[in-house]
Chains A and B, each alone.
Chain A
Amino acid sequence: MSRGVLQGVGLVRRYGGLTAVDHVDLVAPPGMITGLIGPNGAGKSTLFSLLTGVEQPDEGQVLLGTTDISRMRPDIRSRRGLVQTFQVPSLFPTLTVADNLLVGAENRRRDYAGGLLGLSAQGRGRVSRTLGGLLERTGLAPKGPVDQVVEEVLASLGLSDIRDTVAGTLPTGALRLVEFARALCAQPDVLLLDEPASGLDNAETAKLAQLLRQTAARGVGILIVDHDVDLVFSVVDQVYAMVGGKVVASGDPQTVRDDPTVRSVYLAQAPLAAAGQAQERS
């Protein structure tokens, strides 16, 4: 139970007089999809930044497994297995899709010096083998040959046909999928997804939901922040609802939906009601 659980403990983030995140506790366990909902200004995005490392908490801790990662930079968190995607897809537009994925796959391990010295793959292999034991102990070792990981992900997401397309030319739907693929290539223990469904049509959203379930089934913990409550309630195993910087309700989707505070906040908002009815009917 040590590796792969993302935990926020008593997280606080203030901007001047405003407390954007107010003593929030949150757990995203492996193999489960966790949702984070709340109206605009509830502090979702700030909490998300605290988890990814874009911002640092004023109080509290972010734990990955048993390690306190509160003060680590985003790239270090990522190499430890906490990988995020962005609200606006953040691909590398001049690289091909396959190369975008390769960047994701290659960077759980650092050996830039080898590349600079122009060491051959074999030479670098020797260097990595020497460092391998060390990396293994720090938990930074890659889990499999890089190319193989990329090909597997490309194939499993149906992206093989566009593997050599330059990412900058893709439409939004494809961008989201490729960004998700890139995150998968980094072999995350926990995936943090910021509004993964924005810009997707219904069919694409459905496909995404299916992908998320498959990914979670492989033992990856997923945390979704999304305005699209339809998506959130249709895929998540547990939900946190935030209002005014605090978590007002948490638990399985049914409990959260029935929570009086959540109801009062969302009462006038049709999507949630519709989602609720849809799920009740099913």
Chain B
Amino acid sequence: MTSIDLGLAGISLGAIAALSGIGLLVTYRTNGVLNLAQGGIATLVAYVFREMVVEWGLPIWLAAVLALGVLSPGIGLLLERLVFRPLARRRASAAESLVASLGVLVLILGITAGLWGLGSRSDAPSIFPADSVRLFGQTRIGVDALAELAMVVVFAIVIGLISARTSFGRQIRAVVDDRQLAELSGVPADRVAAAGWAAGTTLAGLTGVLLAPRFQLNPYGLTLLVLETFAVVVAARLSSMPVAVLTALGISILQSELRQFTLDGDAGQILTVLQSNLFIVALLILLLAVPKLRELGGGDSGATSSFSSRGAPPSGRVGEARYRRDYLGKLGGFALLLAPLTFAPSDLRSAFQVPALALIFLSMVIVTGYSGQISLGVAGFAGLGALLSLKLANGELFGLPALPGIWAMLVGALLVAPVGLITGYPAIRRRGLTLALTTFAVGAVVSRFVFEQPTFASGLYIDPLTVFGHALSDKAFYILELLSLGLGLLVVRNLHHGRLGRALLAVRDHSSGAAAVGVDVRNLKLLAFTVSSVVAGLGGALLVHSSYSFAADDFAPLQSLLWFTAVVVFGADSAIGAIVAAAFIVTIDVLAPAGTSTLAIGILALALGWMPGGLASAVRGVLRLLAQYLADSFVDPNQRAPRPVPVRISAVGHLPATAGIVGNTGLPGIGATLGAARSGHVTRWPLSEGALGPLAGAPAPTPFGAALVAAVARYAAAQADQVTRVSGSTNGSGSDGALVGSAAATGSAPAAGTAARPSTASGTGMGAGSGAGTGVRR
């Protein structure tokens, strides 16, 4: 083939990549969401299209209309309404939208894999006839390429005209600038956003339908192809449509032109890989070369604190007390992790993956949960750890002597550190979207150029691990895994505690604020990336040993996305969450058909909107509620410590709502005796002496008075069937307006009869209690 023929052959793929890029840009410019689910949607639509044509026997034109005119925009409208509109309403950060789109991707992958399996199909129908048109001489161009090129031109012009010349275009810009403000000025923001989504997903569907017949139809493969077209929008710096189109055509034609060259040796091999992977290489290079993406909304998308809700364990006494309380939970968790040792041999082998996966997840807790970077390339680190340790064990690495298996694992994991360090460098200046894409590209490049290459990744054999010449039994291997997990947890603990932990969280919470007080932001980010890559590498090495094989698919770039989503779902800043997530995924994979765990993670990811801190913080919240409920049900109200009262401070130094605290116990007068207990809450707020006035000035009951109050309260509780709320205030202590019936009398009792007339006070108390017949329970 001549150079011209090759170039023309590249046009078709380039046009499809351009369509995908236009779709991404349309969604981004109308909603501020870089739709990572684009690939998933393309795959789903392609599968449905094939189903309609091949299985149902519909004519191609009808199937195309249904798939592209109904299904694709329908998906967009649905996503906008159910997922992204709620996020936009509460002004969720770009990081949350990014994770939501990851959730959608994972969900769609789960659905696709669940419905059609993970196998490849090569019978995807093509919309266009397989004809070609003669251009000149012997040179011909395919009808599909011409049609696709025409579509690109039409879409680009139409969208360009809409955004530049119509009032709708102006509305789009207004909505993207400030959705709330645009709505206040009468712009139908929801409709604009929905239109953007519908257009974006339609183009995604079109991409899928056009790509499927050119390659094999396979849930992960096709999705990845579409994700590679992100190179196009990066080149366009997320804004310029013509640049996107030209880049798409340029990369594709160049990739096609590379086919006319052949080289020998290693260079030849790299060339071969480049001939089909130029897009992913371009993505990485562009991300490193393009100075800055034109992110919408100030590019705050690095602020991952929104899904890592917890701070450092507080220093000082408070922290120690809380830490001690945690021991029980930790012991319980450890016992659960030991449980597989009692399993049948086959089940124990299934459990092998849990600690390995947990280590990989822990590595993401370090990078995302503790230092606030979005990293979507963890599978690359894990795979490298696995590969390097196998090579070391086989004695094939840099001429090093063969190491015993266990040492090979540790050294192999450590050898990942330089890669982590290098990946961390872009993270110094980049946050959010750019960093997410960069790490993803690193993972994908490593996967394509290393894991999938026979020179590196074939002919490796996995020897059973030995200790002092004895092969490890299954149980011993599991214990080794737990020890490794323990090591990982130790590293995580050290990263989360003390000065280092505070500094990392400071970087996560506000990196320029951290730099302003001397925190070494640069080295801390590098440290997080490096340590995380080692932990992931160790996890990867264990994973390979637990499945007895090295498969490139286990460390495919899409795995990173799935794993990242799982970690965020289970609480990005929770080490326990990481272990639970691993157990969850492995359990489902063992019990249910392939793809089910992906589906489950996807569904949970969409629920993130309702539980911003992930499952870990949701569980923390539920436990708190449960504890509160138990306390309310079983603890005598008199013995109960007062609840913390939400108090707003208007300025430093005074607290306007002290009366509310007294009222909330429901038992005036008892306030002072509980003073010590209450101070635990009160001192959390800036209180001046003056503000404490009403509390300190409240009548202090004698021991007898307090006993009396308790007796009356118990009596009132016994009258529970007559419970009503008394709205009127009393003149008893006068210090607060939330006094209630039975308490009204007692309120006056200590005031009036502190020492002098106990019997009368008692009489009044009982009388009022029964006479009014009211009480209050809260």
> Which residues from chain A sit less than 8 Å from chain B, CB to CB?
52, 54, 73-75, 78-79, 83-86, 90-96, 98-100, 102-104, 106-108, 110-112, 115-118, 158-159, 161-162, 164-166, 170-171, 173-174, 177, 179, 182-183, 185-186, 201, 203-204, 207
Contact = CB atoms under 8 A, between A and B. Distances in A.
B651 A164 contact: no
Contact of A159 (B315, B499, B509, B686): B686
Interface in B163-210: none
A91 B513 contact: yes
A92 B518 contact: no
Contacts of B289: none
Q: Which of A98, A110, A201 has the most CB of B within 10 A?
A: A110
A90 to B, nearest CB: 3
B391 interface: no
Contact of B649 (A96, A111, A171, A203): A171
A108 B514 CA distance: 12
Nearest to A78: B518
Contact of A104 (B497, B517, B522): B517
A204 B649 CA distance: 14
Q: Which 6 A-B pairs have the closest CB atoms?
A: A90-B513, A115-B500, A94-B311, A78-B518, A107-B518, A92-B509
A99 B495 CA distance: 15
A170 B652 CA distance: 9
Nearest to B649: A171
Nearest to B509: A92
B500 A112 contact: yes
A103 B514 contact: yes
A85 B494 contact: no
Given A94-B311, A112-B503, 18 more contacts: A75-B520, A78-B516, A84-B516, A90-B516, A94-B309, A94-B508, A95-B509, A96-B314, A99-B502, A103-B514, A104-B517, A112-B527, A115-B494, A115-B498, A118-B494, A165-B684, A171-B649, A183-B517
B556 to A, nearest CB: 31
Q: Which of B501, B508, B518, B686 has the most CB of A within 10 A?
A: B518
B503 A103 contact: yes
B653 interface: yes
A46 B416 CA distance: 41
A104 B521 CA distance: 13
B583 interface: no
Contact of A74 (B305, B491, B516, B653): B516
Contacts of A96: 311, 314-315
A17 B311 CA distance: 45
Contact of B524 (A102, A112, A177): A112
A112 B523 contact: yes
A94 B515 contact: no
Nearest to A119: B494
Contacts of B685: 161-162, 165
A78 B517 contact: yes
Contacts of B491: 116
Contacts of A182: 517
Contacts, number: 164
27 contacts: A73-B515, A73-B522, A74-B516, A78-B517, A85-B516, A91-B509, A92-B506, A93-B509, A93-B510, A94-B309, A96-B311, A98-B314, A99-B502, A102-B502, A103-B502, A107-B517, A107-B518, A110-B520, A110-B523, A112-B500, A112-B503, A116-B495, A158-B652, A158-B686, A161-B683, A161-B684, A166-B311
Contact of B506 (A103, A165, A185): A103
A54 B520 CA distance: 14
Contact of A203 (B312, B506, B651): B651
Nearest to B652: A174
Contacts of A171: 648-651
B582 interface: no
B521 A75 contact: yes
Contacts of A166: 311
B249 to A, nearest CB: 32
Q: Which of B494, B509, B512 has the most CB of A within 10 A?
A: B509
A51 to B, nearest CB: 12
B512 A94 contact: no
A186 B515 CA distance: 11
Q: Which of B515, B527, B531, B687 has the most CB of A within 10 A?
A: B515
Nearest to A162: B686
B486 to A, nearest CB: 13
B678 interface: no
A99 B312 contact: yes
Contacts of B506: 92, 95, 100, 103
A160 to B, nearest CB: 9
B505 interface: yes
B314 A78 contact: no
B519 interface: yes
A117 B522 contact: no
B475 interface: no
Contacts of B308: 94
A91 B515 contact: no
Given A99-B311, A204-B651, A75 B518 contact: yes
Given A86-B513, A158-B653, A161-B687, A99 B518 contact: no
Contacts of A162: 684-686
Contacts of B495: 115-116
Contacts of A90: 510, 512-513, 516
A98 B316 contact: yes
A235 B483 CA distance: 61
Given A75-B515, A186-B518, A92 B510 contact: yes
Given A73-B522, A165-B684, A174-B649, A83 B503 contact: no
Contacts of B651: 171, 173-174, 201, 203-204
A74 B310 contact: no
Contact of B505 (A79, A92, A174): A92
Interface string B272-316: 000000000000000000000000000000000100111110111
B720 interface: no
Contacts of B516: 52, 74-75, 78, 83-86, 90, 183
B490 interface: yes
B505 A95 contact: yes
B318 interface: yes
B652 A204 contact: yes
Nearest to B308: A94
A108 B310 CA distance: 26
A50 B683 CA distance: 41
Contact of A94 (B305, B649, B686): B305
Interface in B680-701: 683-687
B494 A117 contact: yes
Interface in B304-363: 305, 308-312, 314-316, 318
Interface string B642-662: 000000111111000000000
B515 A78 contact: yes
A104 B503 CA distance: 9
Q: Which of A104, A108, A182 has the most CB of B within 10 A?
A: A104
Given A90-B512, A90-B513, A116 B521 contact: no
B503 to A, nearest CB: 6
A121 to B, nearest CB: 9
Interface in B454-508: 490-491, 493-495, 497-503, 505-506, 508
Contact of B522 (A75, A94, A98, A173): A75
Contact of A118 (B312, B490, B520): B490
B316 A83 contact: no
Nearest to A74: B515
A108 B518 contact: yes
B503 A107 contact: yes
B97 to A, nearest CB: 20
B512 A74 contact: yes
A83 B310 CA distance: 27
B520 A112 contact: yes
Contacts of A86: 512-513, 516
Contacts of A158: 652-653, 686
